[in-house]
Chains A and B, each alone.
Chain A
Amino acid sequence: MNQPKLNLSPKVSDEVRKTTCYMCACRCGINVHLKEGKVAYIEGNRDHPVNKGVLCAKGSAGIMQHNAPARLRAPLKRVGPRGSGAFEEISWDEAYQIAADWLTPIRESNPEKLAFFTGRDQSQSFTSLWAQAFGTPNYAAHGGFCSVNMAAAGIYTMGGAFWEFGQPDWDHTKLFMLFGVAEDHDSNPIKMGIGKIKGRGARVIGVNPIRTGYNAVADDWVGITPGTDGLFILSMIHCLMQAGRIDLHYLAQYTDAPVLVNGDEKSPEFGLYLRDEDGKQLVMDRVTKKLTPYDQPGVKPDLSATHRAKGVTHRPVFHKMAEMYLSEDYAPEAVAERCGLPANRIRAIASELARVAFEEAFELDHKWTDFRGETHDTMIGRPVSFHAMRGISAHANGFQTCRALHVLQIILGTVEVPGGFRFKPPYPKPATAHPRPHVGMTAGAPLNGPHLGFVHGPEDLALKEDGTPARIDKAFTWENPMSSHGLMHMVISNAHAGDPYKIDTLFMYMANMSWNSSMNTGGVMQMLTDKDENGEYVIPHIIYSDAYSSEMVAYADLILPDTTYLERHDCISLLDRPICEADAAADAIRWPVVEPDRNVKGFQSALCDLGAKLGLPGFVNEDGSQKYADYADYITNHERRPGIGPLAGWRMGESGLQSGRGAPNAGQIDNYIANGGFFAEHIPEGANYYKPWNRAYQDWAVKLGLYDSPQPYLFSLYVEPMRKFQLAAEGHGDRQPPEHLRARIKATMSPLPIWYETDQQGNEGFTINALTQRPMAMYHSWGSQNAWLRQLHGHNPLYLPTKLMRLHDLSDGDWARVTSPHGEITVPVMEMAALNENTVWTWNAIGKRKGAWALDKDAPEATRGFLLNHLIHELLPPKGDGLRWANSDPITGQAAWFDLKVRIEKTDAPRESRPEYPPIESPVPQAPDNLAWKVGK
């Protein structure tokens, strides 16, 4: 045979540079192969703790993101009307001068007039520091419309939630149950984990109205009715408690189940924990039968015993749970119809949880000592684990639902045990170890502390002296007291309405608010362009930073062009949302593996410049000169506390480089680069489970600088701060809620998880649930500017279940008018059988505005693609009381976009999907027609 001789060992590249991906928020390590100084190929970094070599579609398409024609090229000044897209390119000096001319007077007079909000920002510890130095209370990132319900519920309950907070013990778990996870969050680790447990033949149960992605490979699919997950979970808790299939030892030792609750109905502390004079929670000791602090060595907390004093019986939390959850209200038969599940299926799943948790329990031979000083020879494993994200959190009952899920994990004894759910450093970290929100503002001076945090009662609310909200987004007010991530989705709406006050400058980063990142997209566009009686814009100044020609660019007055992720410095810091694994503390950097070929600058470097120009404390030296030349300088030299900086690796100790604590090291970034762009410090064996109570872990965490002292704590099945808000609503205390919120606070702020139907007023006649999911190959709006990814998802149909297709006489490719109480869209439909029979859905953020992202005006993203956002309002329908009720969770303010209900009618195919918007002028040149991308010749 004569076959061609091939070169089987071609040179792969000239050089490999290792950095961190930013095609989504997963933060995988990547190897960027360069040829002749250009990016030739990107693959996963095998050594990296997050992705261990694998890489998703988005990450692998990074080369097309880095070279996308939609990249902005220089700072831009608006020259046409806002929203038109007409800009001229200006210098950085001019851009900074414009910004300073707006911001300096605000800072000197009333810093709250600046609202600084960031979107998919991975530098929140830095951007918040800047906002704090500026002095405005108005700062937050996108957590409020993303998943604050999940995060806050996790932290209040057990000191952490899913994703960056923790992960299943993939190596030991035998039953993995995931709720409402739409393909993308913690993208590669979840896929790797599912692959791992599937390889072992372990069972995966997926709870999601839509059977795609992870739910498609799940062994069992629970196509639940949206918004009823909490009810389903509480019903399983009912079954498990009724059968005694709960981990009593775990509950007694590590949770507040035995903690006594004040039973004196007349007391202002009714329903609060009994505490000793040091503030320690009190339990009854089974041995001494005495009231004892929970952490006393040798104490055997009693789940059952009550304490009687002064004629009042104080009962433990566990009594309250029994009373609540054993009620027939939570019996499977009672909830089945609302959940859209047969009662027996609920039982079957509860039974499987019980079987695996208790019949397949195992032990690891790891000796450890708990916080009470008791040494255990082994670690008991309960191989049941959970993961959940926005599907359960983006509802107005999401906080309580997420709480219910955490409580379910805890009563099974599966948190922080082998086979269960494991925290990733710096978690576990209870709510009490986090800051409280700060809004203490002084003109010309920094804010009195961090903006965001965790409230522990009415005293921590962010209210002005007159009781009105201190923050533009009304975070930490009676409307949503525990809004730990702020309410980014309310900023523009509130600023436009002047409720609670007007602002002067809106400064945003990486948040496509005039398109897919807002509810009520059309309304937001109008608010951004609306003028007052003097012909001035209602929101006078808008500064925006983005790397790409997104829809939001057109709605800003000044654009600070960001770099691509391959051209910038970043730190994925332990002060922020690090890349830790359950067995290791880890952080990472990005660094310019290629230099920008445009007049652009990493946004954080621009903030260093602008901060210095404004003279912000912390951004200037004593002589007034600029403190940080750029973000890399900040990353290397900033110290948050003495010895603690943005990066934990290779810090300068007295006898050389060391991990965790240490002085700044000028060569730190080079050390990271040499190590592949990340740092990881492994948790010693014996310290890596039972972390909240494990002395070895606590000591290790202190040594590394995660805490300054050991912080053992009990899990909070019962969230005492919620009870404090209820007490206020019942009339106790000085800080009182407004009358119109009193009843709602009493009803929703139950300290034990409950389920309630979300506000249905205005939904009459709208009976179909409408959801979105993010495809695994796209991330928010990112992807359409990517020539490879947009071929995968260039337009999006509305998927309808078979029953609704038949009912409305629809076939694939037909068009339907979809109406909600708020709006109407006309879109193409497609049938999907593996779907809850009363739910429709589509892929999120595929629809694009004409003229954005350097796409052709006839791009399918604009002509057939669509957003469901047009149907969702940031406010609930008016109740006739003149008040603006946010479409948000009443506890955390999480945007409740999954509460959407719609109606569907068949219609003739329009020219394009509706609503149609006129094209915006593109600030970047026309993209090329064809690509044949090969950098090495």
Chain B
Amino acid sequence: MTTLPSATGKKLGLVIDLDTCVGCHACVISCKGWNTENYGAPLSDQDAYGSNPSGTFLNRVHSYEVQPAEGHAQLIHFPKSCLHCEDAPCVTVCPTGASYKRVEDGIVLVNESDCIGCGLCAWACPYGAREMDMEEKVMKKCTLCVDRIYNENLPEVDRTPTCVRTCPAGARHFGDLGDPDSDVSRLVAERGGVDLMPEQGTKPVNKYLPPRPKDTLPEIDVLAPFLEPVAQEPTGFLAWLDKALEKL
């Protein structure tokens, strides 16, 4: 059913910390691995060993250079997957009902057996979160590992999206963003988490924690408190040393 639920029980989503993401692509490949073997069709690769390799990925890590008015340019690694929007335009445009937002947790999914592969949902998504699989000809997208997060065959600690489980730097967090007391909601509040392209009106559930201010170490002059010389010359230094050793 492609009309959106008026409210969802939970708002499960990811919080991505741009201050910590080192751009290692662990989440990208872990996602590829899990989702090739699990939910729906495998994520295929075309011309896999050839001149123009290209495959389906549900999560990709971009990188941006930002040049502040003053100071050094900064490089920011930027993972991006489905944001599981509250007002998900990809759902409402779907002509078959294959694309839907789950009532209980807000996860946006594609029911592959209903997908006609028209691609309109991908057109409607501003974030590039949906990719048509060229082998299976159906639309693939992040499932928030719906087949992990409730999976009773997994130990409880592993009932989390594979990208979150694998992230070495701990830059990805998973939880209920509809619950203001959840860890993820607190993190968003504390660190000023933001929506991507808010003007698109999609109300993304996933939030991004902005990088902390960089290059803030103040340049100081010679007589700053921590570097005030005890002596300028070796001889003076040794005299200081003697006194300092007395005090030890």
The answer to whether A834 and B65 touch across the interface, beta carbons within 8 angstroms, is: yes
CA distance A198 to B211 in the complex (A): 11
**A350 an interface residue at 8 Å Cβ cutoff?**
yes
For window 1-35 of chain B, which residues contact chain A by CB distance below 8 Å? Answer: 1, 5, 17, 19-26, 28-30, 32-34
Given A248-B248, A929-B46, decide whether A243 and B165 contact each other with a Cβ distance below 8 A.
no
CA distance A89 to B194 in the complex (A): 59
The answer to whether B42 and A934 touch across the interface, beta carbons within 8 angstroms, is: yes
A-B contact number at CB 8 A: 317
Q: Please tell me which one of the listed residues A194, A221, A243, A345 contacts residue B227 in the complex, with CB atoms under 8 A apart.
A: A243
Nearest residue, chain A, Cβ from B51: A858
**B75 an interface residue at 8 Å Cβ cutoff?**
yes
Q: State how many residues of chain A have any CB contact under 8 Å with chain B.
A: 117
**B69 an interface residue at 8 Å Cβ cutoff?**
no
The answer to whether B244 and A248 touch across the interface, beta carbons within 8 angstroms, is: yes
* Smallest CB separation, B63 vs chain A (Å): 8
The answer to whether B226 and A191 touch across the interface, beta carbons within 8 angstroms, is: no
The answer to whether B23 and A9 touch across the interface, beta carbons within 8 angstroms, is: no
Residues of B contacting A834 in the complex (Cβ-Cβ under 8 angstroms): 65, 72-75
The answer to whether A791 and B23 touch across the interface, beta carbons within 8 angstroms, is: no
- Pick the interface stretch among B82-90, B123-131, B152-160, B177-185: B152-160
CA distance A319 to B45 in the complex (A): 65
Given A217-B20, A788-B32, decide whether A326 and B234 contact each other with a Cβ distance below 8 A.
yes
Given A69-B49, A791-B54, decide whether A43 and B162 contact each other with a Cβ distance below 8 A.
yes
The answer to whether A787 and B227 touch across the interface, beta carbons within 8 angstroms, is: no
For window 180-202 of chain A, which residues contact chain B by CB distance below 8 Å? Answer: 183, 187-188, 191-192, 194-196, 198-199, 201
The answer to whether A12 and B25 touch across the interface, beta carbons within 8 angstroms, is: no
The answer to whether A249 and B248 touch across the interface, beta carbons within 8 angstroms, is: yes
**B120 an interface residue at 8 Å Cβ cutoff?**
no
Residues of A contacting B21 in the complex (Cβ-Cβ under 8 angstroms): 217
Q: Please tell me which one of the listed residues A55, A195, A218, A928 contacts residue B169 in the complex, with CB atoms under 8 A apart.
A: A195
* Smallest CB separation, A241 vs chain B (Å): 7
**B186 an interface residue at 8 Å Cβ cutoff?**
no
The answer to whether B151 and A61 touch across the interface, beta carbons within 8 angstroms, is: no
- Pick the interface stretch among A46-54, A572-580, A612-620: A46-54
Given A9-B150, A220-B214, A933-B42, decide whether A286 and B24 contact each other with a Cβ distance below 8 A.
no
Q: Please tell me which one of the listed residues B29, B52, B135, B218 contacts residue A777 in the complex, with CB atoms under 8 A apart.
A: B29
Q: Please tell me which one of the listed residues B46, B75, B227 contacts residue A216 in the complex, with CB atoms under 8 A apart.
A: B75
Q: Please tell me which one of the listed residues B152, B238, B244 contacts residue A9 in the complex, with CB atoms under 8 A apart.
A: B152
Nearest residue, chain B, Cβ from A70: B49
**A523 an interface residue at 8 Å Cβ cutoff?**
no
The answer to whether A930 and B46 touch across the interface, beta carbons within 8 angstroms, is: yes
* Smallest CB separation, B79 vs chain A (Å): 12
* Smallest CB separation, B80 vs chain A (Å): 15
* Smallest CB separation, B238 vs chain A (Å): 6
The answer to whether B168 and A191 touch across the interface, beta carbons within 8 angstroms, is: yes
Given A302-B245, A776-B25, decide whether A859 and B51 contact each other with a Cβ distance below 8 A.
yes
Nearest residue, chain A, Cβ from B28: A57
Interface size class of B (residues with CB under 8 A): 35 or more
**B100 an interface residue at 8 Å Cβ cutoff?**
yes
Nearest residue, chain A, Cβ from B65: A833
The answer to whether B169 and A322 touch across the interface, beta carbons within 8 angstroms, is: no
**A827 an interface residue at 8 Å Cβ cutoff?**
no
Residues of A contacting B224 in the complex (Cβ-Cβ under 8 angstroms): 347, 351
**A348 an interface residue at 8 Å Cβ cutoff?**
yes
The answer to whether B25 and A792 touch across the interface, beta carbons within 8 angstroms, is: yes
- Pick the interface stretch among A207-215, A263-271, A416-424: A207-215
**B96 an interface residue at 8 Å Cβ cutoff?**
no
Q: Please tell me which one of the listed residues A57, A345, A349 contacts residue B26 in the complex, with CB atoms under 8 A apart.
A: A57
Residues of B contacting A63 in the complex (Cβ-Cβ under 8 angstroms): 33
Residues of A contacting B227 in the complex (Cβ-Cβ under 8 angstroms): 239-240, 242-243, 245, 347, 350-351, 354
The answer to whether B24 and A854 touch across the interface, beta carbons within 8 angstroms, is: no
**A288 an interface residue at 8 Å Cβ cutoff?**
no
The answer to whether B20 and A194 touch across the interface, beta carbons within 8 angstroms, is: yes
* Smallest CB separation, B18 vs chain A (Å): 9
The answer to whether A931 and B1 touch across the interface, beta carbons within 8 angstroms, is: no
CA distance A406 to B217 in the complex (A): 23
Main secondary structure of the interface of B (DSSP, over half): loop
**A643 an interface residue at 8 Å Cβ cutoff?**
no
The answer to whether A57 and B29 touch across the interface, beta carbons within 8 angstroms, is: yes
* Smallest CB separation, A101 vs chain B (Å): 37
Nearest residue, chain A, Cβ from B242: A304
The answer to whether B237 and A791 touch across the interface, beta carbons within 8 angstroms, is: no
Q: Please tell me which one of the listed residues A11, A60, A859 contacts residue B33 in the complex, with CB atoms under 8 A apart.
A: A60
The answer to whether B151 and A8 touch across the interface, beta carbons within 8 angstroms, is: yes
**A868 an interface residue at 8 Å Cβ cutoff?**
no
**B interface footprint on A1-37 (CB within 8 Å = 1, 0 otherwise):** 1111011111110000000000000000000010100
Residues of B contacting A216 in the complex (Cβ-Cβ under 8 angstroms): 22-23, 74-77
Residues of A contacting B32 in the complex (Cβ-Cβ under 8 angstroms): 60-61, 788
For window 709-739 of chain A, which residues contact chain B by CB distance below 8 Å? Answer: none
**A863 an interface residue at 8 Å Cβ cutoff?**
yes
For window 79-113 of chain B, which residues contact chain A by CB distance below 8 Å? Answer: 100, 102-103, 109, 111
**A interface footprint on B131-161 (CB within 8 Å = 1, 0 otherwise):** 0000110000000001100111110011000
The answer to whether B74 and A211 touch across the interface, beta carbons within 8 angstroms, is: yes
CA distance A757 to B228 in the complex (A): 30
For window 176-232 of chain B, which residues contact chain A by CB distance below 8 Å? Answer: 211-212, 214-222, 224, 226-232
The answer to whether A855 and B216 touch across the interface, beta carbons within 8 angstroms, is: no
Given A863-B51, A928-B49, decide whether A3 and B1 contact each other with a Cβ distance below 8 A.
yes
**A768 an interface residue at 8 Å Cβ cutoff?**
no
The answer to whether A7 and B1 touch across the interface, beta carbons within 8 angstroms, is: no
CA distance A53 to B164 in the complex (A): 11
**A910 an interface residue at 8 Å Cβ cutoff?**
no
For window 868-892 of chain A, which residues contact chain B by CB distance below 8 Å? Answer: none
**B70 an interface residue at 8 Å Cβ cutoff?**
no
CA distance A59 to B32 in the complex (A): 12
CA distance A833 to B24 in the complex (A): 20
CA distance A242 to B136 in the complex (A): 69
CA distance A789 to B55 in the complex (A): 11
* Smallest CB separation, A859 vs chain B (Å): 6
The answer to whether B111 and A54 touch across the interface, beta carbons within 8 angstroms, is: no
CA distance A55 to B229 in the complex (A): 47
Residues of B contacting A115 in the complex (Cβ-Cβ under 8 angstroms): none
Q: Please tell me which one of the listed residues B26, B51, B233 contacts residue A326 in the complex, with CB atoms under 8 A apart.
A: B233
CA distance A389 to B169 in the complex (A): 19
Residues of A contacting B1 in the complex (Cβ-Cβ under 8 angstroms): 1-3
Nearest residue, chain A, Cβ from B133: A932
**A502 an interface residue at 8 Å Cβ cutoff?**
no
Residues of A contacting B57 in the complex (Cβ-Cβ under 8 angstroms): 791
The answer to whether A303 and B245 touch across the interface, beta carbons within 8 angstroms, is: yes
Residues of B contacting A198 in the complex (Cβ-Cβ under 8 angstroms): 17, 19-20, 169
The answer to whether B216 and A220 touch across the interface, beta carbons within 8 angstroms, is: yes
Residues of B contacting A833 in the complex (Cβ-Cβ under 8 angstroms): 65, 67, 73
CA distance A930 to B233 in the complex (A): 71
CA distance A1 to B42 in the complex (A): 28
Nearest residue, chain B, Cβ from A184: B24
The answer to whether B37 and A40 touch across the interface, beta carbons within 8 angstroms, is: yes
Residues of A contacting B215 in the complex (Cβ-Cβ under 8 angstroms): 219-221
The answer to whether B151 and A12 touch across the interface, beta carbons within 8 angstroms, is: yes
Nearest residue, chain B, Cβ from A323: B234
The answer to whether B20 and A777 touch across the interface, beta carbons within 8 angstroms, is: no
18 contacts between A and B (CB under 8 A): A4-B111, A41-B33, A54-B26, A54-B165, A55-B168, A57-B29, A61-B33, A187-B168, A194-B22, A219-B217, A243-B230, A248-B245, A347-B222, A785-B49, A787-B45, A788-B45, A863-B51, A930-B48
Extra pairs beyond A191-B24, A198-B17 (9, CB < 8 Å) = A1-B1, A61-B33, A216-B77, A221-B215, A248-B248, A326-B237, A787-B53, A860-B51, A930-B48
B residues with a Cβ closer than 8 A to A are 1, 5, 17, 19-26, 28-30, 32-34, 36-38, 41-42, 44-55, 57, 65, 67, 72-77, 100, 102-103, 109, 111, 135-136, 146-147, 150-154, 157-158, 162, 165-171, 211-212, 214-222, 224, 226-234, 237-238, 240-242, 244-245, 248
